Structure 1
Amino acid sequence: MEKFTFILLLLATYQRVSSAAKCEILTPMGIEGGEIGIIMIPGANYPGERYIPLALRIQELMGSNKVWFGITEGWLLDTPNPVEIAGAINACRDQAEDLNLGGRMYLAGHSLGGVMLEQYLQSEENMAQYSGVILFGSYLTDFLFGIDNGYEVPALTVIGSIDGLSLTYALREWKESAEAETALGVTNKYPVYIADGVNHAQVGSGEVPDFVKERDIAAKMSDEDAHVVYAEIVKSFLILQNQDISDSTDIKIALEKTEELKAYTAEFLAPFITASLMETEEDNWMIRGQKILVSSSSEELQGLEVVNLVVPFEDLGDAKPSVVSANCTAVVTTYSQPQYDLDLFDAATLKSASVIKAKFKIEDVLRENLCLPEVPRKQCKDINIQALEVAMSLASEDALERFNEVGTKLIFTDDSVSPWGPGWEFSSGLHYKKINETHTSLYSTSLISEPDFIIAVAAGMHYCDLLSPYRALEWIYLTSVIGK
């Protein structure tokens, strides 16, 4: 219902104004080769003409094909919207026809422009007119039309390795597109690639809108060099989708480039895959967390086995950790529930768990079961410190260098111990507080019930709000460095 209401509100807003978007045609640079047309939809607050440099670079690299561009411009508030999009696209088609331009046509969109394209292409009639979709710093959203990336036409998703606005969605899109290709028994139809070293803004050129500047990661290279990175990826996609009208040498180069892109993307996403699995899989962060509370010595932990069960929130209150012990060994069962940020519009929200609600057995009991001497208790803070350390061990050298140079550092402070169960259960997650421009503090809410607690079933518990290593990884790559 929220999704439908959102669309109605958009339509109600824009129907009060007349359509203003228009089109500027960039004719092909060459006169031979197969003909391909690309119509470009800009991102929010980006005048369409700022995509001309990228379009020219793509035309230049696609030299053995006749590539023309339709650059849509003059959008209301320089922002694509559902009311104007059909008129803008049709204006490009009409002008191209007047210039005797045709061939196979593709729709390309940057950021919000990609979302508007997906909305436009929900019409089967519209979809049937195009040979594919190219998404820059955008993706096939789950917001409106579900998680199936099995589009009727090929769809390329390109997200920069320092794209502050879209990078968090890259892993999800990579997985969903791979699943779609597997289901259809095809390859290279829905590629998702990470573009090395470029950010969100650099799809366009010139002045960066404040909205993007505040949420993007600082550029590493010039816009001109970034356009080459983006253009080479587009070229490889277009060539492989149009092999019957492409030069054989270009096809060979495109195949090599595709393998290179696949390898780089898989390597780039590997840390995110590893960290994401720690939230829900059997061998997850909870197992490490319970052991961290008990001891820092691997020798002392030899007799401890931890089994964690991920439960829905409605079952979390009744779930109670338990332990079975014998002969200085123990098997403990813990419970967890990862919680995620509300993402109504499938945009600008981190995809990692905002907190892992963790129910551990108190370390006093486990150390006694393991025949170990009593030691001072640890805090949830100790587990969270190691979550960041794990994330730093997974992060790339490039991400770590940027984090160390400009990233906001986390200072872990002592837990806030709740005096009762609901105080922990509804603690609203981890608590961040800005200290200054370079440091932010973070603390957890915990709940401790002593081993001799009067209610036996609730005795000897240590409950924590945990920082997910995945969220810590996104802190390193994104949160700590955006807008700097």
Structure 2
Amino acid sequence: MTTRMGGKGNGESTLLRNYLPLLVACLAWSAQAEDIVLDPKKTGGDTVALIIFPGSELASDQYTSTAEAIQDAASSSIWVGIVDAASSTQFDSAIPRILASMSAKGMSASKTFYASHSPAESALLQDYLSASIEEKSQPDGLVLLGSFVLRKYRTSSGGFRLPTLTLGGDADGLCRVTRIAEAFAVDKGSSSVIVLPGVSHMQFASGAASSVIQKHDLKPEVSEASAHSSIGRFVAAFLDSNREELAAGSSATATVLDPIVEAMRQEGSQKLNALCNSDFPTSSACNYPKWPDASLDPLPVPKPDPMPPSDCICGSSFVEENAQKLMARFDLSPTPSASFFSKDSFHDVSDTHPFHLPHIFNDCEDPASCLLNTTSVTMPIYEDGDPWHRESYVDDGLTPISAKEFRTKLKSRQAMWQAAGFSDDITKDIEKTDGSLEICKSINQASYDWALSSASPAAKAKFSSVGEPYVFVDDVVAKIGVTGPEWIKDAMVYKRTSSGMTVQSWTFKTENTNHGHVPYIVTAGYHYCKILSPFRAMEWITVDGLRLHGSLASETVTLDGKNNATFSSRKMLQ
């Protein structure tokens, strides 16, 4: 539902008519509220109203510079109303009040847009608009500054129910650029998603940072004037319906965000789509043979409700293409031409109804011409929710959205070499094939190396300057507890040291009894790893690995578990 007037620029808007019973009272309230109304800087063309809702703990006058930059860049005649910060989330009273103030000053707008700064405040505005969508006239569009469309409000075509402009900064510590990348990949329809290089969260406003922003934001790489000019350019293009300008912004944004989106695909991120269930296949692309397809429980396996979509995500392509390869290391074998084809599937690795185990489906007599058909099993663990219940995800902009670890079950090097046809003289001792405590480590190093090489040039340069590197240490063998292997619950270990953030995986291996030709209840030929997702590595490079040296606030950290030291943020804005 729009807020367009019956006549262009000279009639009462639908939005004002719907709020008319409140207007008289609002005029009285406006004398007490600290709303700000900025008259247009330009005349002629369309007359547009833009209502800005401040972020938490920020004052209304901290948005005047941003508002004026929008007015300067627009071809339309832009009226700006900045809602009193103290009542910026009291939408039922604040909206009619500020519209009444603007109308009293002579505004007669043909279109009305809302803009909101910060994920928390933007979430409340979206809640309000969605709850009232059938009851009140909605604005002609929504501008999200340092925020995004909530996942729960994505329509079937992507994006919000209103035309929406999402503006993020790649130096934003409260609305992480990876969350904007998710929006860029998924939010389509009438939405535009644009990233502003070097812009921090605070630079959507002016002046002193709030306590929350001071604690979490990154240091900007551009001046405030430059940031406001970029914000003004694209908000004005959105208000003017300047599709060419928005397309140019989207094209430049792709350079920044495409590597992040590719990292999400490498992970098999459930933020992009729902996960498949190989027990109830819905996607022919998965081509995942079930094994052992058996359970000690005789009852049938419950069918998912709803079933995964046909374009669901099968597993992690990084695990398929890299993890099993680095586990097998045929390139180190007597016959490097031996090869394999692997498919990964997402499942709870604790599930026994049915069991889900990695498997090799064939043997080779001649290693030189061998092509093994293998599978692996991966359980992604997220700190913001359960991957099998998408509605549980936290959607706050601050929490990492990547998997914090993969619990991955692979076929051991011993099993792969034996199935390829190598002699027992080479493969009979699992300590020689799988005893190294650098196997899982090498997989995680490869994930990090991929992210470093794939990040945008700007992200690489910034991380090289102020980033805290990952440092990979040897694997640790998981113990056997009273309930079995403790590998599942042993979380990846991160420890801050003077050389960087160390990353340690847990490993667990089993002898390949009888070359793996045993009943499934015999745990033969497995090598399990805790794996670093390439998307987690990318989030570290673009956001979290910048916090120690590149944040607004200095941080006190513990080095090697014993020495306290304070690291001051490096000066990034010259």
Letter in 2 for 1:440: M
2:241 corresponds to 1:236: no
Q: Which residue of 2 aligns with 1:57?
A: 69
Q: Which residue of 1 aligns with 2:178?
A: 168
In structure 2, the residue corresponding to 1:133 is in which secondary structure? strand
Q: Which residue of 2 aligns with 1:447?
A: 508
Q: Shift of the alpha carbon at 1:275?
A: 1.5
2:142 corresponds to 1:133: yes
2:363 corresponds to 1:325: yes
2:212 corresponds to 1:211: yes
Question: Does the 8 Å CA contact 2:255/2:456 hold for their aligned counterparts?
Answer: no
Letter in 2 for 1:285: F
Q: Deviations over 1:278-327 (max 9, x none)?
A: 22356711121111122273895542213223133166552222222112
Letter in 1 for 2:492: L
Q: Give the alignment partner of residue 383 of structure 1, picking from 422, 437, 443.
A: 443
Residues in 1 aligned to 2:138 and 2:525: alpha-carbon distance in whole angstroms: 65
Q: Which residue of 2 aligns with 1:425?
A: 488
Letter in 1 for 2:546: V
In structure 1, the residue corresponding to 2:187 is in which secondary structure? helix
Distance change >3 Å, CA 21–CA 368, structure 1 → 2: farther
Distance change >3 Å, CA 468–CA 390, structure 1 → 2: same
Question: Does the 8 Å CA contact 1:50/1:204 hold for their aligned counterparts?
Answer: yes
Letter in 1 for 2:496: K
Structure 1 gap ranges (5+): 1-17, 182-188, 241-253
Q: Shift of the alpha carbon at 1:196?
A: 2.4
2:117 corresponds to 1:110: yes
Q: Give the alignment partner of residue 305 of structure 1, picking from 325, 337, 340.
A: 340
2:527 corresponds to 1:462: yes
Q: Deviations over 1:224-246 (max 9, x none)?
A: 11001111111111111xxxxxx
In structure 2, the residue corresponding to 1:464 is in which secondary structure? strand
TM-score by length of 2: 0.71
Distance change >3 Å, CA 296–CA 58, structure 1 → 2: farther
Distance change >3 Å, CA 233–CA 379, structure 1 → 2: same
Larger mean CA deviation between 20-29 and 200-209 belongs to 20-29
2:419 corresponds to 1:369: yes
Letter in 2 for 1:29: K
Residues in 2 aligned to 1:21 and 1:43: alpha-carbon distance in whole angstroms: 17
Q: Shift of the alpha carbon at 1:203?
A: 0.3
Distance change >3 Å, CA 259–CA 129, structure 1 → 2: closer
Q: Deviations over 1:348-368 (max 9, x none)?
A: 221211111110111122123
Distance change >3 Å, CA 45–CA 283, structure 1 → 2: closer
Q: Shift of the alpha carbon at 1:156?
A: 0.8
Q: CA RMSD in A?
A: 2.6
Distance change >3 Å, CA 473–CA 96, structure 1 → 2: same
Q: Which residue of 1 aligns with 2:60?
A: 48
Q: Give the alignment partner of residue 39 of structure 1, picking from 48, 51, 57.
A: 51
In structure 2, the residue corresponding to 1:350 is in which secondary structure? coil
Residues in 2 aligned to 1:339 and 1:129: alpha-carbon distance in whole angstroms: 39
Structure 2 gap ranges (5+): 1-28, 269-313, 386-392, 552-568, 570-574
Q: Which residue of 1 aligns with 2:284?
A: none
Q: Which residue of 1 aligns with 2:545?
A: 480
Q: Which residue of 2 aligns with 1:152?
A: 161
Q: Deviations over 1:378-417 (max 9, x none)?
A: 4211100111001011111211111111111112122221
Q: Shift of the alpha carbon at 1:209?
A: 2.0
In structure 2, the residue corresponding to 1:198 is in which secondary structure? coil
Identical aligned residues as a percent = 25
Q: Give the alignment partner of residue 401 of structure 2, picking from 332, 351, 363.
A: 351
Letter in 1 for 2:198: G
Letter in 2 for 1:415: D
Question: Does the 8 Å CA contact 1:316/1:335 hold for their aligned counterparts?
Answer: no
TM-score by length of 1: 0.83
Question: Does the 8 Å CA contact 1:21/1:88 hold for their aligned counterparts?
Answer: no
Q: Which residue of 2 aligns with 1:257?
A: 245
- Structure ranking higher in helix proportion: 1
Q: Shift of the alpha carbon at 1:341?
A: 1.8
